[in-house]
A and B are shown apart, each in its own frame.
Chain A
Amino acid sequence: MSTTQYLFAGFGGQGILFSGKLLAYKGLTDGKNVSWLPSYGPEMRGGTASCSVIISDDAVGSPIVSKPDVLIAMNLPSLDKYEDTVVSGGMIFVDSSLIERKVKRDDVKVFYIPATKLASDNGISKLANIILMGKVLAETNGFDNEESVNNALKKVISAKHSDMLEVNLNAMRIGRDY
């Protein structure tokens, strides 16, 4: 029986909520209990956005993540704000093309992925969040089964944009293989 608490944080417009939704659907596809809770407020594009996701074998209690096992930080204010909240032994994923500084903690596993740069190098500049998700899934044993990743993508990408499925899957592979 295990529970993993994820916190996604960054600027509005980076796809923070979308990433969280993708992870939640991945958990659901794998038959787990899940919850997804966005920060909501007057913020718009350019403001701060965050999103709590819990994936558990048991029923999910409070959907609010205040001590994440996994933090995905896509801008400096987010890393500054949430670095200390990560549980000891937890993981921090950093978009190192947007965050220049290193993580100060030495009791957590840190992954530096230049997701925004990788995205623009590959001509998919809007998919930095998905590249980062690929790495997150790879490091949390979520990429063992590519079919379940693909199924989760199908749930979050509407039928209208089905041409984006393969592009997103490729972005996730870029993150996984980084």
Chain B
Amino acid sequence: MNKLADKVLMKGNEAIAEAAIIAGCRHYFGYPITPQTEVAAYMAKRMPKIGGTFLQAESEIAAINMVYGVAATGKRVMTSSSSPGISLKGEGISYMAGADLPALIVNVQRGGPGLGGIQPSQSDYFQATKGGAHGDFHMIVLAPDSVQEMAELTVKGFDLADKYRMTTMILADGTMGQMMEPVSLDFEVGEKVEKPWAVTGTKMERKHNIVNSLFLKPEELEKTNFERYEKYSYIEENEALCEEYMMEDAEICVTAFGIAARVAKNAINEARNQGIKVGLLRPITLWPFPKKQFAAAADKVKQFISVELSMGQMIEDVRLATECKVPVTLCNRAGGMIPSPEQVLEAIIKANNGGDK
């Protein structure tokens, strides 16, 4: 019997919700927005049955502050939204970074800027990977390219958040959220992390724990920043993930994440049929960006092509990681449009014929 038959078909949004429950998340706060509303709908059905909390807040800002509150008590907690809603959560996300609070934030991206549209996009890459709000900070950013990964990276996201006491973001897009694929929900959840810092009541047995992001003495505030960035360096060194597809003999390297990577694989398979040596580097962690794999590839290939559903955002990290040793070109659509495999194939053929300088 094929193992596939044991799997269930789920939407990406539903897979995130179910995986979060498996990971032990019992608190969800959100506000509806297309194309991620199924996360909230699923949680609204499931949470009351398992003793959890689902709450539709009065706004995104309220929801992220509820997340802050639960995270401070050490419980696993999440919220989800789509692009404009994530912007609203920005203040809370920065406060959580300043207070070193772990939580999972899901962004099922749609076209922007502004209220934009509701079709898939990847134009929140800068927002997600460069901090996303005021102050010096990072989130760990995970980019699934299948419904199975939507589930697996949700669990991993909670584990990483607890391990490093920081927020993790799942950066998906409308396609990933809406599509259904077979999913196996049989996976491991990491070991429980002790949280001695959590605000759980002293019971008169210990000193007060204080969770706060306000430091009025600049010397103290600077110290927290330096300490946080030491942690970030460790994460950059140890947690970067990247899928390599047909890279062994590749002379051209396509790079893409999420839905763009799925489209790129179609184009790469066709280019391989035509005898073109092309492969794919797919960052799974967007922060930390998998710099080492890109640096290594830069010594082997003659051109990079960054396929994105944006005006070109990840391309900047590709150029930094490869130190511009070889040309890096952009193959993109924006505003809710998705590049076709033919468009990507055309870019590959052009690169193979000498390419852009």
Contact = CB atoms under 8 A, between A and B. Distances in A.
Interface of A: 21, 24-25, 28-29, 31-38, 40-42, 60-64, 66, 155
A28 B4 contact: yes
A37 B263 contact: no
Contacts of A36: 9, 179-181
B47 interface: no
A40 B179 CA distance: 10
A34 B181 contact: yes
Given A24-B9, A28-B4, A31-B5, A38 B263 contact: no
Contacts of A61: 262-263, 265-266, 269, 341
Interface residues of B, number: 26
Contact of A40 (B35, B180, B340): B35
Given A28-B182, A37-B179, A40-B118, A66 B340 contact: yes
B88 to A, nearest CB: 21
B4 A31 contact: yes
B19 to A, nearest CB: 19
Contacts of A38: 178
Interface of B: 1-2, 4-5, 7, 9, 34-35, 118-119, 174-175, 178-182, 259, 262-263, 265-266, 269, 338, 340-341
A34 B178 contact: no
A40 B178 contact: yes
A64 B178 CA distance: 12
Contact of A60 (B34, B119, B181, B338): B181
A84 to B, nearest CB: 15
Contacts of A63: 175, 179, 181, 262
Given A61-B262, A64-B175, 6 more contacts: A21-B180, A28-B182, A34-B9, A37-B180, A40-B35, A62-B266
A37 B174 CA distance: 10
7 contacts: A24-B180, A29-B5, A33-B182, A36-B179, A37-B175, A37-B178, A62-B262
Given A21-B180, A61-B263, A61-B269, A28 B9 contact: yes
A41 B174 CA distance: 11
A64 B338 contact: yes
Nearest to A28: B182
A36 B182 CA distance: 10
B148 to A, nearest CB: 11
Nearest to B268: A61
B9 A40 contact: no
A53 to B, nearest CB: 9
A21 B7 CA distance: 14
